[in-house]
Amino acid sequence: MCLELTGCSSGASDTPPLAQVEGVVTLDGTPLTSGSVQFIPDTSRGTSGRMSIGSIDKEGEFELTTIEPGDGAQIGHHLVTIERYEVIEFDPDNPKEQFPKLLIPKRYIDTKTSKLTAEVTASGENKFKFELISK
């Protein structure tokens, strides 16, 4: 009886198959030095589930996480968004609400306008290069 119970509880049943994903982001040929990349499952192409996110480092490189650091993204088709905002230091002497300035074209932060997509596969390299353009 105990063996049957432990066999049934082998982990979260809502965890989709994942594959490691990494890549680089540039703006007008120059690597972004901060920001984030999001892979959102493209339901119109049969992929549903959790989104994945990765921070962009000083070399413009990123690695995606869905559940645990570096575990990648769900296998399938994704819509991609990229964000990069200026860092605003909090000034306790002037505690007004501040809104960070977007440092890339606004179209890249929305799945409807970014025109960025990716297909994550179970086999092969899942390395992506996103070349953003200012104009």
Structural domains of the chain, with CATH? 16-87+96-132 (2.60.40.1120)
pLDDT: which is higher, 42 or 6: 42
The pLDDT, as a whole number, for residue 94 is 77
Mean pLDDT of the residues in the chain = 88
Distances, alpha carbon 4 to alpha carbons 8, 13, 15, 59, 82, in Å = 6, 17, 21, 50, 45
Q: 98 falls in which pLDDT band (50, 70, 90)?
A: confident
Specify the pLDDT at position 7.
Answer: 35
Tell me the mean pLDDT in the region 58-83: 97
The pLDDT value recorded for residue 43 is 95
Least confidently predicted of 9-13, 70-74, 119-123? 9-13
